[in-house]
Amino acid sequence: MAQHDDLTAAATAWRDDDPDPATRAELQALIDGLPRTAAELKDRFAQPLAFGTAGLRGVLRAGPNGMNRAVVRAAAAGLSSYLDSAGRTGPVVIGFDARHGSRDFAEETAAVVTGSGREALLMPKLLPTPLLAYAVRALDATAGVMVTASHNPPADNGYKVYLGGADGRGGQIVPPVDRGIEAAIRAVGPLADVRLGHGWRIIDESLVESYVDAVAALVDADAPKDLRVAYTAMHGVGAETLARVFAKAGFRPPDSVPEQHDPDPDFPTVPFPNPEEPGAMDLVRALAAKTGADIAIANDPDADRCAVAVADPARGPASDPDSWRILRGDEVGVLLADHLIRLGRTGTYATTIVSSQMLRSIAEKAGQPYAETLTGFKWIVRAGEPLAYGYEEALGYCVAPDLVRDKDGISAAILIADLAARLKAAGATLLDRLDELARVHGRHQTDQLSVRVTDVAEIAAAMARLRAHPPAALLGRPVTGNVDLLPDADVVTLRADGVRVVVRPSGTEPKLKAYLETVELTGDAMTRLRGEIGTALGL
């Protein structure tokens, strides 16, 4: 046992400082199980769960390398300390979704914030992440905390921080704020010494009603409303709010997938509750085919993302679920941008370096500013003022920056429904509008090569191979651009005539992603491009 003395000491010290009896017992069982449990304990104490621009996200488990009450207490204490040292006044608003532990972590945060002498405002119930982002602005909070792991597997949870004030404007934190909060968290002493309060305030339900009213008002009351929508909340928290918005805007209630309607933190019908994952939208596609829907819409569990599917006549009759094609994030992104421009929305139209270049063409043709940022809405919402619209290909859309300075799957859903209803009244579909955009701006095709790994070291090795031996040609066309964003970002961009590839590690999951785009190339070009990039990465 001597070889495990340091590990035992670290685990024992953490156990003794852990405020949660359940995770204390969990650690004690691992300590008692040594040496059999050595690998598990080493993993939990290898490093603390890192706090970055996405906040915290990790597996629910005891120890510093997991999501638990001890980690959350330290994070809340560090956040409170940072806000004090930065001279930021005002309340902190706290939201939570339906994941395991979310409410407990939210109340833990409220207790710490209140104990620090600052007002804590707790959302009235489990609600979508966009409601928290909205509340930061609506309540003039200095910061916001959302307890969610978004579309991660059921064993995970997370802790996302928003910043209010003139500099944050209700968006996610960016450097150097994240580094300041991280340093403050590391400076937190024994958790038993963190003062806890009990007088936090529960926000009135009127806040939710004001959000519903504001989002519904994005749609012209006199615009067509004849539309049937199949919908899934994917076991998350979006169903109630989305239904209220649709009703307020004058649409018929969406037909909701019954098996996925109610919040369920175990996500029993999907291995990964992410609309991008294969099979995740099978039930809503089947419902759309059965009910004769015009479009199908899916939110991820915290409803900040929105996916859309449409019946494609080239694939078969609409009554066949397999005929329902899931639109790529880039397709929905340009549809919404074009719709807003046609409605007269002016200002900066923004997307990320991994999204389709069609938005640039759409904005330039409309005479509107265009901006391109690193991945993540923390950057998109800071792309330029006034911000008219921002999107990222990972199903995130900011269609109303003055309401929610982040991606919002609820407001995106009502605006895509508005567009679909207008097109239906004119005898057209979303696919028809995409064809129209392709005729004007060129046919941009996008795809993604995404590889999930069990050892994150494989990602670094693949990026190193690409940098050491980049391809000289893509689809037989010479590579004319090779941009490496290190050290600012772990991103490599390759360009050839009509071809663009962007490769980067995922910021939230153990994945390596390659974003592929071709312009005016047909046939099997995308399949061949996937193969070429896979070879270059050694995957």
User: Is 223-428 a domain of CATH 3.90.850.10?
Assistant: no
What CA–CA distance (Å, rounded) separates 370 from 391?
12
Looking up tokens 């329902």 gives 324
pLDDT at 3: 62
Q: 273: cis peptide before it, omega within 30°?
A: no
Tally Cβ neighbours within 10 Å of residue 2.
6
pLDDT digits (tens, 9 = 90+) for 174-233: 999 999 999 999 999 999 999 999 999 999 999 999 999 999 999 999 999 999 999 999
What CA–CA distance (Å, rounded) separates 131 from 14?
35
User: CA angle 362-502-315, nearest 5°?
Assistant: 65
Nearest to 172 by CA among 211, 144, 131: 144
Strands annotated E in 97-149: 120-122, 143-147
Count of H-run helices and E-run strands, the chain: 19, 23
What CA–CA distance (Å, rounded) separates 323 from 316?
5
Query: Distances in Å between the alpha carbon of 295 and those of 221, 255, 416, 417, 418?
Result: 20, 11, 9, 8, 11
Looking up tokens 């921002």 gives 390
DSSP type of residue 92: E
- Widest CA span in the chain: 77
Whether the per-residue pLDDT at 1 is higher than 70: the answer is: no
pLDDT digits (tens, 9 = 90+) for 490-511: 999 999 999 999 999 987 778 9
Residues in Cβ contact with 298 at an 8 Å cutoff, skipping those fewer than 6 apart: 231, 232, 234, 275, 280, 281, 284, 306, 307, 308, 309
Indicate which residues carry an active-site annotation: 150
pLDDT digits (tens, 9 = 90+) for 316-342: 999 999 999 999 999 999 999 999 999
Backbone φ, ψ for residue 321 (5° rounding): -55, -30
Cβ density class 464-479: b for 16+ within 10 Å, e for less: eebeeeeeeebbeeeb
pLDDT at 9: 95
pLDDT digits (tens, 9 = 90+) for 3-13: 678 899 999 99
Residues in Cβ contact with 108 at an 8 Å cutoff, skipping those fewer than 6 apart: 69, 72, 73, 76
pLDDT digits (tens, 9 = 90+) for 67-84: 999 999 999 999 999 999
Instruction: Note the residue count of the chain.
Output: 539
Q: 443-537: which CATH architecture?
A: 2-Layer Sandwich (3.30)
Intrachain domains 223-428 and 443-537 with the same fold: no
pLDDT digits (tens, 9 = 90+) for 371-416: 999 999 999 999 999 999 999 999 999 999 999 999 999 999 999 9
Nearest to 251 by CA among 396, 398, 400, 420: 420
Whether the per-residue pLDDT at 244 is higher than 70: the answer is: yes
Report the predicted TM-score, pTM, of the whole model to 2 decimal places. 0.94
Q: Which two tokens stand for residue 389?
A: 């619209």
Query: Distances in Å between the alpha carbon of 154 and those of 55, 60, 125, 317?
Result: 18, 9, 20, 35
Whether the per-residue pLDDT at 53 is higher than 80: the answer is: no
What CA–CA distance (Å, rounded) separates 118 from 91?
6
Give the up-direction half-sphere exposure of residue 269: CA atoms within 13 A in the CB hemisphere.
21
pLDDT at 456: 86
Radius of gyration of the chain from its Cα atoms, rounded to whole angstroms: 24
Looking up tokens 């024994």 gives 190
Give the up-direction half-sphere exposure of residue 483: CA atoms within 13 A in the CB hemisphere.
12
Q: Which two tokens stand for residue 218?
A: 């994005």
Q: Is residue 62 a contact partner of residue 29, using CB atoms and an 8 Å limit? A: no
Q: Where are the alpha helices (DSSP H) in 250-376?
A: 258-261, 282-291, 329-342, 358-366
Confidence of residue 443 (pLDDT cuts 50, 70, 90): very high
Q: The domain 53-204: what is its CATH number?
A: 3.40.120.10
Cα end-to-end span (Å), the chain: 40
Tally Cβ neighbours within 10 Å of residue 457.
8
Per domain, the residue ranges of the chain are 1-46, 53-204, 223-428, 443-537
Q: Is 528 exposed, middle or buried (0-12, 13-18, 19+ CB in 10 A)?
A: middle
Q: Work out the mean pLDDT of the chain and round it to a whole number.
A: 96
What CA–CA distance (Å, rounded) separates 377 from 364?
22
